[in-house]
Amino acid sequence: MLNSITSLFKQLLEGNDLGHASHADSNLAIACLLCEVAGADHQIEQVEVEAKRLLLTRLLDIEESDAVALLSRAEAKSKESASLYDFTSQLRELSQETRFELIKAMWEVAHADGEIDPLEDSVIRKTAELLYVDHSDFIRAKLGVTESKH
């Protein structure tokens, strides 16, 4: 018994399981942020659901079935959460490029139904601030999504 506990602590200290858990937490946090923006206007359209699923498969390089399962967990966690900080605090170690891609993906979810609600804009703006994404990149991501849909 003591050996198994010692072994567990050794694995945790060496980062064997810790890295995997952290990666899974990041994926869940990303999925939660996509859920937050989709639900910001209190109307989740089917096109937004599809956009979230497709974006997760692209962003996280996961299978569609994994994206569906991840979104299911994310929707539940998103309902429990009190703040965007719960999710963004886990993502600050991501590269600047990855954080930009996340903000762009949030714009894609918000714009999936053809319009961006002010509440969706607010969620994305706050997320960008919490992830230290420059305002110019925030705007570039928005324009990249809205101008390509016209």
| Residue 100 dihedral angles phi and psi, to the nearest 5° | -60, -45
Q: What is the pTM of this model?
A: 0.81
Q: What's the pLDDT tens digit per position in 4-18?
A: 444 444 444 444 333
Mean per-residue pLDDT for 112-120?
A: 93
47 CB-near residues (< 8 Å, 6+ apart): 112, 113
Structural domains in the chain, CATH included, are 2-148 (1.10.3680.10)
